[in-house]
Amino acid sequence: MALSRFQLLKPPHTSVSTVSLFPRVPSSCSSCPRSRHRPSTSRRLCIPSSNPPIQDSINGETSSSTIVDGLLDYLNESWTQFHATAEAKRQLIAAGFQLLNESSDWNLQPGGRYFFTRNMSCLIAFAVGEKYRVGNGIHVIAAHTDSPCLKLKPRTASSKSDYLMVNVQTYGAGLWHTWFDRDLSVAGRVILKAGDGSFTHALVKVKRPILRVPTLAIHLDRSVNTDGFKPNLESHLVPLLAMKLKEESADGSIQPCSSKATHHSLLLEVLAKELDCKVNEIMGIELNVCDTQPSCLGGGKNEFIFSGRLDNLASSYCAFRSLVDTCKSPSDLADETAIRMVALFDNEEVGSNSVQGAGAPTMFQAMRRIVSCLTSDHIGEGAVERTIRSSFLVSADMAHGVHPNFLDKYEEHHRPELQKGLVIKHNANQRYATSSVTAFLFKEVAEIYKIPVQEFVVRNDMGCGSTIGPILASGVGIRTVDCGIPQLSMHSVREICGKEDVDIAYQHFMAFFRSFSSIDRNLSIDF
């Protein structure tokens, strides 16, 4: 059921209201990334339905308009996995979630809302139902905060032909040709030394373009359009920073800058200015190369989102906003018998095998601690194991929308379309963790709320990507469904997805949190 403006339909026992369904149109790509977009009209759309439509509100506005605006703001704020986690942290605290420390004791209560971060690139947030009992399930939506990009090497300074160059390494499986001839900059985290000798962690983002990877003129590469653009990723993908600087020696003569420096002094000066610190206070850097073009709406009717890092910040944003917006008031958790959770991991694009990745036991450790905190003095046999077996995970990662110019790359009967809902991913070889049971349960959520859903399998003669779904399903032993928002240009420096699909995903995730407990209790498998 694909509507021009998707609506979340609540079950019959809930009340209904009338809302404006006309989408707001944001300003152009050149506008300020953090600006708030205003409605162009107050006109209403009437969509016939056998069930009355209702929209949840966020800050007094309809969710359909604000969720897309919020995503654009989130994307423009979140140039790196660190910034994405920090912005999610800010919004969770603003919504009343309590920050926990993994190294400290936890004191959890029914009805409480909590979260913690790891490495400032991984985040676990959860809300405890008022009627939760040990052994009941934990309902999780998991995504990842990282995207394919260029990262600075430990020693970044190099020079060629009087150009200052910045050494980079490729991270993940990016479409690296798309990084050429883009206005690039750097962002990430820096370790600073304070005056008292202590060290602090600071996030930095240089918003102006300071880097560029230029392509070779066609006059010097005549066959590029026939033979293809095949850059060497070590020698051709090195960004330019500036022309080589000169420095004065003690006797006043001009000397070339030292080529033995770890980082160019110019780069450190740019970072120091951004951080309002001295260059000698910068002790360490962990920086990504980032495209400076803002995320925005595009297309003839503003129906698309044009942005970098949609894979997988679009899923991350819809996940944690759906948790926040289904746990706003005490009444939202009054009848909940489960625990609602969102898990955002780092390093998915390189296999998840890190302290902050899905391959680490972060989520399982959190589950065990939650159960321990919420039990009485006597913990029944297998309390944690019973909880996990009653739990359910939605692994949310972007999906392959059908490309109109490459139809032969898709299985004929499984071609997900933009603007038609989340895609459930299937793979018989377990590259995705979806089973017939988990697909049924997730589709049942959609059926009850009249939410459109699609399905995808890769062609038998093509390889298949994977997600954190199989990693968590096998590592924790939790029932899992893999799904994602359909998109084009996956792993490009600039990706595309449908505006409607972001709203649909957000509504589907909210429906999952609100209704899965009652749906799941009606299905029996291992009995």
- Say which residue, 501 or 4, is predicted with more confidence: 501
Average pLDDT for 462-474: 94
Burial class, 396, CB count within 10 angstroms (exposed 0-12 / middle 13-18 / buried 19+): buried
pLDDT value at position 235?
96
pLDDT value at position 16?
32
What's the sign of the alpha-carbon dihedral 468, 114, 506, 488? negative
Q: Is the pLDDT of residue 462 over 70?
A: yes
pLDDT value at position 46?
32
Helices 310-325 & 63-77 angle (0-180, nearest 10):
130
Taking the C-alpha atoms of residue 185 and residue 241, their distance in angstroms, rounded to an integer, is 9
Strand order in the sheet with 199-205: 199-205, 184-193, 282-291, 149-160, 163-171, 240-243
- Cis peptide bond prior to 280, omega within 30° of 0: no
Taking the C-alpha atoms of residue 95 and residue 72, their distance in angstroms, rounded to an integer, is 19
pLDDT value at position 260?
60
pLDDT value at position 70?
97
Q: Is the pLDDT of residue 10 over 70?
A: no
The number of angstroms, rounded, from the C-alpha of 236 to the middle of its chain's C-alpha atoms is 29
pLDDT value at position 64?
55
Burial class, 446, CB count within 10 angstroms (exposed 0-12 / middle 13-18 / buried 19+): buried
Average pLDDT for 57-82: 78
Q: What's the half-sphere exposure (Cβ side, CA atoms, 13 Å) at 330?
A: 2
Q: Is the pLDDT of residue 291 over 50?
A: yes
- Per-residue pLDDT of 218-276, as tens digits, reads 999 999 999 999 999 999 999 999 998 765 445 554 444 544 689 999 999 999 999 99
- Per-residue pLDDT of 329-369, as tens digits, reads 989 999 999 999 999 999 999 999 999 999 999 999 999 99
Tokens standing for 421? 């809902």
pLDDT interval class at 380 (50, 70, 90)? confident
Q: Are 397 and 315 in contact (CB under 8 A)?
A: yes
Average pLDDT for 15-28: 34
Q: Is the pLDDT of residue 150 over 60?
A: yes
Q: Are 423 and 410 in contact (CB under 8 A)?
A: no
pLDDT interval class at 378 (50, 70, 90)? low
SS (H, E, C) 215-244: CCCHHHCCCHHHHCCCCCCCCCCCCEEEEC
Residues 6+ apart with CB under 8 A from 310: 75, 398, 485, 487, 495, 496, 497
How much of the chain exceeds pLDDT 70, in percent?
84
Q: For residue 135, what is the DSSP state? A: T
pLDDT interval class at 171 (50, 70, 90)? very high
- Per-residue pLDDT of 483-522, as tens digits, reads 999 999 999 999 999 999 999 999 999 999 999 999 998 8
How much of the chain exceeds pLDDT 90, in percent?
80
What's the sign of the alpha-carbon dihedral 343, 348, 351, 353? negative
- Say which residue, 53 or 140, is predicted with more confidence: 140
pLDDT interval class at 162 (50, 70, 90)? very high
Average pLDDT for 54-58: 38
- Per-residue pLDDT of 392-442, as tens digits, reads 999 999 999 999 999 999 999 999 999 999 999 999 999 999 999 999 999
Q: Is the pLDDT of residue 80 over 90?
A: yes
The per-residue b/e assignment along 127-149, b for 16 or more CB within 10 angstroms, e otherwise, is: bbbbebebbbbbbbbbbbbbbbb
Among 126-130, 288-292, 519-523, the minimum mean pLDDT is found in: 519-523
The per-residue b/e assignment along 203-219, b for 16 or more CB within 10 angstroms, e otherwise, is: bbbbeeebbebeeeeee
Taking the C-alpha atoms of residue 395 and residue 194, their distance in angstroms, rounded to an integer, is 41
- Per-residue pLDDT of 29-38, as tens digits, reads 444 434 433 3
Name residue 118's beta-bridge partners: 122
